[in-house]
């Protein structure tokens, strides 16, 4: 269903229809001014009405706003979308076009909107305030820090308390003290004018006094963004970004036309029974992967066209939805496509994916990639299921033009498996090419089958525990490998020894950690921070999925660990550190050995994590060890990720929250050559580690 946005500048049949069919059903009576008032504003040139109309001229959504010449503030008074069009991007398009029209016409100081507090109860008639706030925040709106109420339509007795006033656009001259503060003068004039117009005068009551005092704070009015989004509506950018909320779709009677064949570190996508493409672990390297095209492409006709398998009307709805997708959209239009898959449960998320690497391959020419050696940084690997580059240049150019206007977010449909290293492009090859040509992160609708391990798996990690629970890992890549036992253990990264620790043998409680002189090894550890930064925003299974893949196959204990007492022992420039428990450390307690710079270099990151911690969030530090320690007061764990978080916990005076991984003990010490490798021929290191080396060389 196609929509065109038109502006209605005079009262008439369309404005009457919009009021009666859209505004009246969508807003409570106390928030809705009369139809005559809306028509009077249009007639006087103070009001502006933008309407999304379908091919038959019927309104599918509308935005109405009032302009204040005295304060130069534009108010978005009402935005409503018909139920039949909700989820098709109409609301987001109206919002962007309305703000764009008003900015061009009036050059306002501010564009603002009123919405209910997210704590207000949801109703079937008027919607969910939480979803409404999420919609505006996703579009870049920010909340003005004011004890705001909607002035009473017809007098103070009709006020609507507990409302939020949002800033949809702030002109740069009105943020002189930084992007988080707005000059109060235009806001004060706007609110005073609004009170006088609605209630007849500015009251002397306590609510009004509190609101006006808030406008007199030194520096201006603070802008808050609870969702973290600061995208500009002027550019049409929207906040997607991981970790994304996801929806579940259950397919009870799937046709099985799309299916995964899963092997050991190999994932093959089949369409209509034909093997289309696969990604699999290359056994020649620790983190090498190969993408293969498994069947030839016909030159003209699309391969396995899904629109040949579904009802045209449903497919048209899906196609229209994919032309513009918004965060928080209901994925229901995707159901015709999902119904082509095998029966089961699927997770659907909408987000942008950065650092896209295309791995297109001809049937006889597999595409090989070795993570971090031929890529500038770890990113997201896309495997096309059709021609790449896509053949229709005009279609790519059209999508590029739509993206440049900032008025559309076409979506690429991806299919992946929880354990796969790649995303398969099911639909949107031309859209993807347009995003990449403009050097933008593509908006993606990601479909992932849920496995037994992906639903509620590892939920015990949501709670602190001193005890490990052990899980079997059969599909790990071996990027991170732990060898030995506590007291003589090694951490390998990318197949090479990186850190070795153990007792030196020169005393009863003296320990030594020796680190490889090549910090490049650490680059093989993928960026883990997205899930570990805010673990409460995802399931434990999602959070650990990347870690699980990086580990070598084996049995691992997992726990959420919060050590009250611990010590950080950093290796010096000469790559070793030694300590005596209870002597060089002031008390007994586990020792954490960094695998990166300590203290961490990015002070801004440390302060940002500290702010999060003081606000009650608990980002996770990833620690690993060769096995559960017999005595936790004399144990060693390696800090694999989270050095800045650990420093922030120390500054905040809060015990760190750690995702602690312990390999099931091998009951033998690590191999002598691991220690020899990290010593690297250094004579002094060789002398310091001589006793440990002799211990490792003893026959078991």
Per-residue pLDDT band for 581 (boundaries 50, 70, 90) equals: low
Evaluate whether residue 237 is within a structural domain: no
Stronger pLDDT, 149 or 679, i.e. the higher one = 149
Average pLDDT over residues 200-209: 93
Average per-residue pLDDT for the chain? 79
Average pLDDT over residues 556-566: 91
Range of the domain at 90: 4-224
SS3 381: strand
pLDDT for 237: 35
Q: Is 50 exceeded by the pLDDT of residue 254?
A: yes
Q: Which residue has the tokens 């089949």?
A: 270
**Quick one: 197 and 327 in the same domain?**
no
pLDDT for 306: 42
Tokens linked to 170: 């702030």
pLDDT in tens, 524-550: 565 566 667 777 766 677 677 778 777
Average pLDDT over residues 316-326: 82
pLDDT for 592: 92
**Quick one: 540 and 674 in the same domain?**
yes
Q: For the ranges 148-157, 420-429, 635-644, which has the lowest average pLDDT?
A: 420-429
**Quick one: 463 and 582 in the same domain?**
yes
SS3 102: helix
Stronger pLDDT, 6 or 284, i.e. the higher one = 6
**Quick one: 159 and 114 in the same domain?**
yes
pLDDT for 210: 94
Q: Is 70 exceeded by the pLDDT of residue 282?
A: no
**Quick one: 390 and 485 in the same domain?**
no
Evaluate whether residue 164 is within a structural domain: yes
**Quick one: 511 and 414 in the same domain?**
no
SS3 240: coil
SS3 535: helix
pLDDT for 376: 37
pLDDT for 340: 79
**What's 245's DSSP letter?**
P
**Quick one: 421 and 564 in the same domain?**
no
Per-residue pLDDT band for 86 (boundaries 50, 70, 90) equals: low
pLDDT for 660: 94
pLDDT for 239: 42
Evaluate whether residue 585 is within a structural domain: yes
pLDDT in tens, 145-170: 999 999 999 899 999 998 999 999 99
Tokens linked to 402: 């739509």
In the β-sheet with 591-594, what is the strand arrangement from edge to edge?
A: 469-473, 554-561, 657-663, 620-625, 636-641, 591-594, 567-568
Evaluate whether residue 50 is within a structural domain: yes
Q: Is 90 exceeded by the pLDDT of residue 230?
A: no
Evaluate whether residue 314 is within a structural domain: yes
pLDDT for 625: 92
Q: Is 60 exceeded by the pLDDT of residue 332?
A: yes
pLDDT for 199: 93
Evaluate whether residue 546 is within a structural domain: yes
Per-residue pLDDT band for 621 (boundaries 50, 70, 90) equals: very high
Stronger pLDDT, 249 or 307, i.e. the higher one = 249
Last residue of a domain, one of 449, 484, 514: 449
**Quick one: 341 and 253 in the same domain?**
yes
Q: Identify whether 304 is preceded by a cis peptide bond (ω within 30 of 0).
A: no
Sequence-separated (6 or more) residues with CB below 8 Å from residue 236: 96, 405, 406, 407, 408
Stronger pLDDT, 637 or 581, i.e. the higher one = 637
Q: Is 60 exceeded by the pLDDT of residue 229?
A: no
pLDDT in tens, 231-250: 322 223 334 444 344 566 66
pLDDT for 267: 73
Stronger pLDDT, 51 or 512, i.e. the higher one = 51
Q: Is 90 exceeded by the pLDDT of residue 336?
A: no
Per-residue pLDDT band for 485 (boundaries 50, 70, 90) equals: confident
Q: Is 90 exceeded by the pLDDT of residue 211?
A: yes
pLDDT for 484: 85
Q: How many domains does the chain have?
A: 3
Q: Is 50 exceeded by the pLDDT of residue 409?
A: yes
Q: Is 90 exceeded by the pLDDT of residue 614?
A: yes
**Which CATH number do you get for residue 208?**
3.40.630.30
Stronger pLDDT, 427 or 338, i.e. the higher one = 427
**Quick one: 557 and 614 in the same domain?**
yes
**Quick one: 533 and 664 in the same domain?**
yes
Last residue of a domain, one of 397, 414, 449: 449
Sequence-separated (6 or more) residues with CB below 8 Å from residue 544: 458, 461, 531, 558, 659
Question: What b/e readout covers 641-650, taking b as 16+ CB neighbours within 10 angstroms?
Answer: bbbbbbbbbb
**Quick one: 99 and 218 in the same domain?**
yes
Q: Is 60 exceeded by the pLDDT of residue 122?
A: no
pLDDT for 371: 42
Q: What percent of the chain has pLDDT over 70?
A: 77
Evaluate whether residue 429 is within a structural domain: yes
Q: Is 50 exceeded by the pLDDT of residue 24?
A: yes
The answer to whether 473 and 556 are in contact (CB under 8 A) is yes
**Quick one: 394 and 511 in the same domain?**
no
Task: Write out the E strands in 476-537.
Answer: 480-485, 488-493, 496-503, 510-515
Last residue of a domain, one of 449, 481, 508: 449
**What's 614's DSSP letter?**
H
Enumerate the β-bridge partners of residue 641.
622
pLDDT for 373: 40
pLDDT for 244: 43
Average pLDDT over residues 272-295: 60
Evaluate whether residue 172 is within a structural domain: yes
The overall longest dimension of the chain from CA atoms, in Å, is: 95
Q: For the ranges 239-243, 312-316, 350-354, 611-615, which has the lowest average pLDDT?
A: 239-243
pLDDT for 148: 94
């Amino acid at each position: 269903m196609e929509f065109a946005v038109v502006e209605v500048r005079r009262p008439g049949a369309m404005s009457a229809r919009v009021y009666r069919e859209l505004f009246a059903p969508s807003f409570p009576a106390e928030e809705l001014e009369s139809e005559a008032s809306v028509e009077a504003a249009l007639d006087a040139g103070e009001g502006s009405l933008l309407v999304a109309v379908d091919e038959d001229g019927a309104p599918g959504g509308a935005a109405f706003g009032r302009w204040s010449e005295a304060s130069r503030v534009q108010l978005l008074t009402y935005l409503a979308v018909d139920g039949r069009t909700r989820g098709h991007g109409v609301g987001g398009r109206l919002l962007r076009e309305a703000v764009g029209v008003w900015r061009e016409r009036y050059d306002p100081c501010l564009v603002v909107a009123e919405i209910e507090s997210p704590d207000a109860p949801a109703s079937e008639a008027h919607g969910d305030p939480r979803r409404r706030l999420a919609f505006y925040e996703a579009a870049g709106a920010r909340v003005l820090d004011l004890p705001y109420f909607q002035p009473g339509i017809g007098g103070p007795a009709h006020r609507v308390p507990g409302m939020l006033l949002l800033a949809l656009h702030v002109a740069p001259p009105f943020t002189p003290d930084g992007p988080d503060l707005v000059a109060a003068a235009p806001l004060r004039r706007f609110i005073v004018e609004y009170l006088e117009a609605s209630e007849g005068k500015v009251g002397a009551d306590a609510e009004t006094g509190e609101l006006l005092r808030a406008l007199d704070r030194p520096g201006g009015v603070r802008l808050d963004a609870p969702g973290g989004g600061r995208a500009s509506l002027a550019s049409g950018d929207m906040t997607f970004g991981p970790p994304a909320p996801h929806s579940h779709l259950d397919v009870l009677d799937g046709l099985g036309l799309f299916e995964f064949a899963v092997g050991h570190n190999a994932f093959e996508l089949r369409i209509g029974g034909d093997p289309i493409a696969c990604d699999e672990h290359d056994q020649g390297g620790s983190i090498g992967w190969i993408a293969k095209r498994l069947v030839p492409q016909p030159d003209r006709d699309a391969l396995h066209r899904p629109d040949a398998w579904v009802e045209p009307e449903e497919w048209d709805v899906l196609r229209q939805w994919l032309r513009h997708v918004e965060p928080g959209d209901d994925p229901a239009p995707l159901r015709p496509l999902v119904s082509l898959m095998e029966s089961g449960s699927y997770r659907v998320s909408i987000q942008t994916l950065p650092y896209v690497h295309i791995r297109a391959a001809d049937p006889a020419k597999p595409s090989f990639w070795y993570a971090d050696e031929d890529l500038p940084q770890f990113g997201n690997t896309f495997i096309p299921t059709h021609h790449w580059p896509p053949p229709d240049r005009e279609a790519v150019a059209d999508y590029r033009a739509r993206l440049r206007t900032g008025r559309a977010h076409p979506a690429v449909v991806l299919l992946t498996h929880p354990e796969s290293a790649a995303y398969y492009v099911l639909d949107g090859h031309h859209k993807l090419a347009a995003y990449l040509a403009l050097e933008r992160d593509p908006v993606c609708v990601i479909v992932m089958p849920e496995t037994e391990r992906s639903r509620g798996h590892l939920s015990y990690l949501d709670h602190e525990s001193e005890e490990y629970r052990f899980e079997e890992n059969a599909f790990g890549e071996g990027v991170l490998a732990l060898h030995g036992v506590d007291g003589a253990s090694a951490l390998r990264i990318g197949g090479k020894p990186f850190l070795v620790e153990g007792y030196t043998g020169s005393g009863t409680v003296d320990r030594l950690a020796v680190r490889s002189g090549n910090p490049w090894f650490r680059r093989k550890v993928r960026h883990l921070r997205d899930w570990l930064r805010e673990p409460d925003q995802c399931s434990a299974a999602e959070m650990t999925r990347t870690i699980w893949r990086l580990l070598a196959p084996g049995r691992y204990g997992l726990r959420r660990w919060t050590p009250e007492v611990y010590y950080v022992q950093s290796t010096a420039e000469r790559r070793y550190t030694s300590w005596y428990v209870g002597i060089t450390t002031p008390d007994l307690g586990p020792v954490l050995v960094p695998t990166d710079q300590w203290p961490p270099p990015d002070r801004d990151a440390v302060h940002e994590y500290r702010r999060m911690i003081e606000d009650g969030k608990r980002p996770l530090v990833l620690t690993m060890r060769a096995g559960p320690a017999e005595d936790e007061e004399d144990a060693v764990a390696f800090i694999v990720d989270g050095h800045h978080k650990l420093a922030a916990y120390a500054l905040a005076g809060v015990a760190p929250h750690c995702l602690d991984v312990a390999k099931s003990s091998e009951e033998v010490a690590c191999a002598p050559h691991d220690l020899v490798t990290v010593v690297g021929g250094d004579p002094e290191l060789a002398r310091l580690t001589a006793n440990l080396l002799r211990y490792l060389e003893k026959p078991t």
